[in-house]
A and B are shown apart, each in its own frame.
Chain A
Amino acid sequence: MSNGRRNFIAGGVAGLAGTAAWRLAGQSGLLPPDSSGIYGVGHSLTYAAQRLLTGQANAREFSRDQISKIPHPNGKPPQSQDFQRLQANGFADWQLQVDGLVSRPGSFSLADLKAHPSGSQITQLICEEGWSYIAEWTGTPLAHLLELTGAQPKARYMLAYAMDGWVDSIDMHDARHPQTLLTYGMNGTNLPVAHGGPLRLRVPRQLGYKSLKYVSRITFTDQLKEEASDYSWYAGI
């Protein structure tokens, strides 16, 4: 067989294998919501590879003496009057709303959340810009809240809404991960407003932009309409 012919057949086989792998990945939930577009291949490879290669692995945890002396408070707290009113009152009137594909939607005050089992972790917050710090975060494991509200099997993503208008989402794999917390405490005190208080989502196996601050609502859905953004949806890298 000539070289050209062999290459042609090899190329064809590789193409077919690629198409089959892509379909299989889609069916096994290994394609991220931003798998199309010019960077879709890269986003998908990273998401699928990291899901397959890292499974349920825990983010690295550190010892107490490795906690950073100064954590970096990035950005500004919400400027809205609503937020300032809630803050003036020590967030006593603040509530977290849980809805979407859950059997028992509901609202939780800070006191409600604190009455539930809590989890703590000393992990690193890594910003996509390049900086990082280590802190201890305390809060309600999202997995616990999922049981409490009865997340439905068809839920595939969790969307978190912040009081400053930010919205971000994670898949159920990360939502159920034991280190994913709805945090209200940091380094032994209440979570400071500068660090996202009263409630910050912590997803330590992804970059900092998935650790949404000022969360006031989470909702479960089976479909994600990706907001037009150049930032990859999956931020495990």
Chain B
Amino acid sequence: MSEPQSRTLPSSLIDAHFWYYPVVAHPPRHCLLVRVTHWITTLCFLALLVSGIELVISHPRFYWGEEGHSLTPALFQIPIPASRAHVKTGYDFVLPDQNGWSRSLHFQTAWIVVFTGLIYAAFSLRSGHLRRNLLPAQLSWATLSESFANHLRLMPPFTGGYNLLQRLVYLLVIFGLFPLMIWTGLAMSPAIAAGYPFVVELSGGHQSARTIHFFATLALVLFFVVHVLMVYLAGLRTRLLPMLSSRYPAPEEQV
């Protein structure tokens, strides 16, 4: 394999992190609001994930429609032990009940993430962040397949802005998965179902809402893993530091 050729940039701008292609630093800048809401969301996501896993452990079976419990057939069951004795899991032990703090943490965090998300969405719309940085500039089959190909070849990012695929995935997460999580979460609340029955009815019933909530979680976890991997591959110095502090990228790195 030939040495990756250095482009016309000084070596200080090349992040040696990437094992094959040099990463050319055209790092992005992130404004304060994006940085703060991003890290609040990350903390919330982890808290929701941990508490959510605990809640699933109390009943690792899923159903479709309105009803479902230990005595009815499941749509599927996760092969893990449970924290309730009436769930047949195939394990001869029962885990301790952790639902009290898990539920309280889950809902309190849900409130924080909803407020954070609303502030972020309002800001993105008003400031032009959405239009400039997130909506794809040129969306076509050609640009899409090019972006796909670049990812498959692990091409380094050449521009500071988000690439096409990255933009589409962010949009899917921000305006697809997050609202879906909130919608199906609310659908599981008996009080919300009383006041606003369409929330649960559009989800296909109480148990369907729970199942969709679970699959949306899986999608978010997949996003999370790939997202962090991409940041790592694209270069921690050039991509992560700007998300942490406005001192990055340093002035001489800005192109």
Q: Which residues of A come within 8 Å of B, CB atoms?
A: 39, 41-43, 45-46, 50, 53-55, 57-60, 62, 66, 68-70, 72, 74, 124, 126-134, 204-207, 229-232, 235-237
Contacts and interface: CB of A to CB of B under 8 A. Distances in A.
Contact of B100 (A50, A59, A130, A229): A229
B59 interface: yes
Contacts of B188: 126, 237
A60 B194 contact: yes
Interface stretch (B104-112, B154-162, B227-235): B104-112
Contacts of A230: 99-101, 103-104
A132 B67 contact: yes
A130 B58 contact: yes
B195 A53 contact: yes
Nearest to B191: A236
B190 interface: yes
A53 to B, nearest CB: 6
A50 B192 contact: yes
Closest 8 CB pairs of A and B: A230-B100, A42-B108, A236-B191, A54-B195, A131-B69, A39-B104, A130-B59, A72-B69
Given A39-B104, A129-B58, A70 B72 contact: yes
A230 B99 CA distance: 8
Contacts, number: 126
A206 B200 CA distance: 15
Contacts of A130: 55-56, 58-59, 61, 210
A24 B111 CA distance: 20
A232 B104 contact: yes
Given A41-B111, A57-B194, 7 more contacts: A39-B101, A72-B70, A74-B86, A131-B69, A134-B66, A207-B190, A236-B191
B197 interface: yes
A221 to B, nearest CB: 23
B86 to A, nearest CB: 7
A126 B190 contact: yes
Contacts of A69: 72
21 contacts: A39-B105, A42-B104, A42-B111, A46-B107, A50-B191, A50-B192, A59-B194, A60-B197, A60-B200, A66-B66, A124-B67, A130-B56, A131-B69, A132-B207, A134-B66, A204-B190, A205-B191, A207-B190, A231-B99, A235-B190, A237-B189
Contact of A205 (B101, B109, B194, B207): B194
Contacts of B108: 39, 41-43, 45
B189 A131 contact: no
B193 interface: yes
B29 interface: no
B58 A231 contact: no
Given A42-B107, A231-B99, A124 B206 contact: yes
B104 A43 contact: yes
Nearest to B99: A128
Contacts of B136: none
B204 interface: no
B59 A237 contact: no
A236 B69 CA distance: 20
Contact of B71 (A53, A62, A70, A124): A70
A50 B67 contact: no
Contacts of A42: 104-105, 107-109, 111
Nearest to A55: B195
B1 to A, nearest CB: 49
Nearest to B214: A130
Nearest to A126: B190
The interface centre, meaning the residue of B63, B100, B108, B210 with most chain A CB atoms within 10 A of its CB, is B108
B68 A131 contact: yes
